Every structure is written in C-alpha cells, then in structure tokens.
C-alpha cells in the first residue's frame, strides 16, 4: 500500500511517502502556503503522481494529550483533504516529530525538517 503523509503548518506543509510492502518511507517535499491558503493544486498533483491508498495527517496534540491551538486548522485541512482526494485519511499523533526530525538532521542543516517530520509520521504509523 502506498502512503502519503502531511505535517501541516500554517506557513508550510511537509510531505513524505511510504510503502507498506517494504515498510520504508522518505521525505518528499515542502509545500509553502501563500496568504494562509493551502496550495491544493500542488497537493492534488502529488496525489495524482503517487496514487496513495492512504493519507496520514499529523495530529498536533499537547504533551498532556489535549488538542493544541492549531488543531482546528489541521482538522479543516484533514476534512478537505479527504473530500478533494477521495483517499482515506487517518490522523497520527505528531507529538515531538519535528523535534525528532531536527535531532536526526542536526548535522545536515537542511530546510526539509517538515518533510522529515512527515516521514516520521509514516514510521510511527508502521510501528503502531
């Protein structure tokens, strides 16, 4: 099964791809939002290219398990993603994924932290 994951942010969205057969994942790219609007054309292009069977979206929770301040915007993105793509969507707890991505990439000095955070979402999904 082909998976695409999204690490949603108001300014940018990290995207990664994964494959259940090999249990591998890779960061794909960052999409920049313009004027606080999601670039649905670019997201649709990625969906058409990768033809995923499942979409994962990071669920931003506080450390105590409550919804974070951005959860409302993520939920809007999640619902529209399902409607636009017609692909099943699931949330994955994203607590500390950006921190983990920064730790993993400390030596590389890359601006793809959000895409690596999306990769970690897939890895966590594989391990659940």
Confidence class for position 97, pLDDT limits 50, 70, 90: low
d(CA 44, CA 13) in angstroms, rounded, equals 14
Domains and CATH numbers, the chain: 2-127 (3.30.420.140)
Statement: residue 102 has pLDDT above 60: no
pLDDT at position 100 is 55
Confidence class for position 98, pLDDT limits 50, 70, 90: low
Please write the tens of the pLDDT for every residue from 4-62. Answer: 999 998 899 999 999 999 999 999 999 999 888 999 999 999 999 999 999 999 998 77
pLDDT at position 55 is 98
d(CA 90, CA 125) in angstroms, rounded, equals 10
Q: What is the pTM of this model?
A: 0.82
3-state class of 59 per DSSP? strand
3-state class of 83 per DSSP? helix
* CA distances, 16 to each of 63, 68, 100 (Å): 24, 22, 15
d(CA 96, CA 59) in angstroms, rounded, equals 11
Q: Which helix (H) or strand (E) holds 84?
A: helix 71-85
- What lies within 8 Å, CB to CB, of 29 at 6+ separation is 15, 46, 112, 115
* DSSP code per residue over 92-120: EE-TTHHHHHHHHTTTT--S-HHHHHHHH
d(CA 105, CA 103) in angstroms, rounded, equals 6
């Amino acid at each position: 099964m082909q998976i695409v994951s999204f690490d949603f942010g108001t300014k940018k969205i990290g995207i990664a791809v994964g494959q259940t057969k090999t249990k591998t994942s890779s960061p794909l790219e960052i999409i920049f939002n313009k004027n606080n609007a999601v670039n649905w054309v670019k997201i649709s292009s990625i969906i058409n290219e990768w033809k995923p069977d499942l979409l994962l979206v990071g669920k931003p929770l506080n450390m105590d398990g409550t919804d974070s301040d951005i959860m409302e915007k993520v939920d809007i993105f999640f619902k529209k993603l399902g409607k636009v793509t017609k692909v099943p969507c699931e949330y994955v707890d994203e607590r500390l994924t950006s921190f983990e991505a920064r730790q993993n990439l400390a030596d590389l000095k890359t601006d793809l932290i959000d895409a690596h955070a999306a990769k970690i979402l897939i890895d966590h999904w594989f391990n659940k």
